[in-house]
Amino acid sequence: MMAFPIDRSNGPLTVLGLETSCDETAAAVVRRFADGRVEVLSSIVASQTEHHAPFGGVVPELAARAHVEIIDQIAAEALAAAQTGFEHLHGVAATAGPGLVGGVMVGLSFAKAVALARGLPLVAVNHLEGHALSARLAAEAPYPFLLLLVSGGHCQLLEVEGVGACRRLGSTIDDAAGEAFDKIAKTLGLGYPGGPALERLAAQGDASRFVLPRALLGREGYDFSFSGLKTAAARLAEAEARTDQDRADLAAAVQAAIARQLAERADRAMAAYARRHGRRLFVVAGGVAANRTVRATLEATAAARGFGFLAPPLAYCTDNAAMIALAGAERLAHGLTSELNAAARPRWPLDEAAALADPTHKPGRKGAKA
């Protein structure tokens, strides 16, 4: 970490953020005021879905190449939409991991070039920290809070004390929730990305028709498991899903089962969190937080525990650069900047201490999305 002589006492910090860790090339400009208020001046996301759809998942080499081709244009669009120039920035932030390393290097190298050319501080941001702070882009989410981070590569419960201060309570022992959505969607013959497609199909279905296993029900701790559900759903898809209605019913049952497990584990964590902290704010973030059934189930669970509930607007649930710019701005406000030789990290657990202490949680799982 490098110390930059930034006057943090009063003025707002304007930061350009870049996100290239998976299949979205994104750039955003975010302004953070000294009192913690946040303004998103622009947020541009270029999805590569059509590059990867024929392959049923993200192809790392294609992703890296597509990021290289478009990153300059997307950054320029973000600055133009924010009516800002490089000369108005106080820093530049980029995702440095975890993720597909070829892509991460594109955004990080771009940020380093801007930092060097403009004499700006660089902030190498952990993508998961971006998700962790994403609710703060659109609402007041005062620290500390209990966070459920559910994306394509991750499924974790975390206590968030502040930027750079997260403690992991538990995580998945096999697939991430988004990964389960994507894989089961594939067995139902739905295209990539599977989560949103499964949600659309589930809207026509009856969730009560198929009975699916309830993993880890009542088990101590805060871990998750989706592999049993995935196997059961695949078997049902093969044996019983003959008509469109069968497939819709199965999709609805799967969605309900994932939401139920997330809610059960979150409920345990909320009970313990309230005892320990006396604070009652629950935040859900990550791509799976875009799922309406998941959101509604978690909101009801939080309400029953007397917790406030926050989820980012849909555009900030899935990968975006506004959350990276915000994490960058918060770090900058604390004088936490990076060296220009900061490395791209394919694996980078948010809470390294917990990850190392508990080897059953493979640190920074590297799924299709991380």
- Which parts of this chain interact with ligand KG4 (CB under 6 A)? 22, 151-153, 178, 181-182, 193-196, 199, 286-288, 290-291, 318-319, 369
Are the C-beta atoms of 266 and 282 separated by less than 8 Å? yes
Kindly tell me which of 121 and 286 has the beta carbon lying closer to ligand KG4. 286
Nearest approach, Cβ of residue 287 and ligand KG4 (Å) = 2
- What is the dihedral sign for C-alpha 347, 348, 353, 355? negative
CA dist list (Å): 47 to 19, 59, 94: 11, 14, 17
Nearest approach, Cβ of residue 146 and Zn ion (Å) = 19
Nearest approach, Cβ of residue 74 and Zn ion (Å) = 17
Are the C-beta atoms of 66 and 26 separated by less than 8 Å? no
Query: Any contact of residue 48 with Zn ion (CB under 5 A)?
Result: no
Are the C-beta atoms of 56 and 77 separated by less than 8 Å? no
Kindly tell me which of 199 and 319 has the beta carbon lying closer to Zn ion. 319
Nearest approach, Cβ of residue 16 and Zn ion (Å) = 19
Nearest-10 crossing angle of helices 292-304, 194-202: 80
Nearest approach, Cβ of residue 288 and ligand KG4 (Å) = 5
Nearest approach, Cβ of residue 283 and ligand KG4 (Å) = 14
Kindly tell me which of 194 and 364 has the beta carbon lying closer to ligand KG4. 194
Using CB under 5 A, which of 95, 126, 151, 291 touches Zn ion?
151
Binding segment (CB under 5 A) for Zn ion, from list 41-49, 219-227, 312-320, 359-367? 312-320
199 binds, among Zn ion, ligand KG4, none (CB under 5 to 8 A by kind): ligand KG4
178 binds, among ligand KG4, Zn ion, none (CB under 5 to 8 A by kind): ligand KG4
Q: Which helix (H) or strand (E) holds 251?
A: helix 244-277
Nearest approach, Cβ of residue 163 and ligand KG4 (Å) = 19
Q: CA-CA distance, 321 to 148, in Å (whole number)?
A: 20
365 binds, among Zn ion, ligand KG4, none (CB under 5 to 8 A by kind): none
Pair type for strands 155-162 and 91-97: unpaired
Q: CA-CA distance, 312 to 180, in Å (whole number)?
A: 22
E strands along the chain, which residues?
13-19, 24-32, 38-47, 91-97, 122-126, 145-150, 155-162, 165-171, 281-285, 308-310
Any alpha helices (H) in 82-157, and if so which ranges?
Answer: 101-118, 127-133
Kindly tell me which of 329 and 370 has the beta carbon lying closer to ligand KG4. 370
Kindly tell me which of 111 and 288 has the beta carbon lying closer to Zn ion. 288
Kindly tell me which of 49 and 83 has the beta carbon lying closer to ligand KG4. 49
- Total residues interacting with Zn ion, rule: CB under 5 A: 2
Residue type, 105: M
Kindly tell me which of 23 and 319 has the beta carbon lying closer to Zn ion. 319
Query: Any contact of residue 319 with Zn ion (CB under 5 A)?
Result: yes
Nearest approach, Cβ of residue 20 and ligand KG4 (Å) = 12
Residue type, 221: G
DSSP string, 157-184: EEEEEETTEEEEEEEBSS--HHHHHHHH
Site residues for Zn ion per CB under 5 A: 151, 319
